[in-house]
Structure 1
Amino acid sequence: MEDIGIGRRIEILREEHRDLDIAIEAMGDAPAADQLALARLKKRKLRLRDEIALLEDQLIPDIIA
């Protein structure tokens, strides 16, 4: 049951990550891109990637060697 919640959260975060990709690309194409806003978007995208990785790790059971 918990895996379903984590899986759904990962889907939401991946969608937000893709949306940030689009926003970053659009801002980069603008001639007078706001560099501070662009840096913030990129930082948010990195945090999302890290959060996705942590959640994915929770889905993989620990293997005791």
Structure 2
Amino acid sequence: MSDQEQTEIRLEYAKLKQDHTDFDAAINAMIATGCDPLQIQRMKKKKLAVKDRMKNLEDRIIPDIIA
């Protein structure tokens, strides 16, 4: 993997990490205001999708080590 590709992946990872934090704050605010549980569940699902994407990027950055 080239340095350019690794830099792009790291930038995308940083953006996703911020999105994940934003979703967390939004979900907590929704819970505090007594928002519709279905909307909260949808936000949690989107947050989980962001976390899954972050994991995929981590796997691309960190090579597998075969023992």
Which position in structure 1 is the counterpart of 2:51?
A: 49
**1:60 shift after superposition:** 1.0
In the aligned structure 2, how far is the partner of 1:62 from the partner of 1:22? 33
Q: CA RMSD in A?
A: 1.1
Identity, % of aligned positions: 42
Residue pairs, 1:12-31, within 5 angstroms: 12-31=15-34
**1:42 shift after superposition:** 0.2
**1:62 shift after superposition:** 3.2
- Stretches of structure 1 that go unaligned for 5 or more consecutive residues are none
4+ long deviations beyond 6 Å: none
User: SS where residue 63 of structure 1 aligns?
Assistant: coil
Which position in structure 1 is the counterpart of 2:6?
A: 3
**1:57 shift after superposition:** 0.5
One-letter identity of the residue aligned with 1:47: A
TM-score of the pair, normalised by structure 2: 0.87
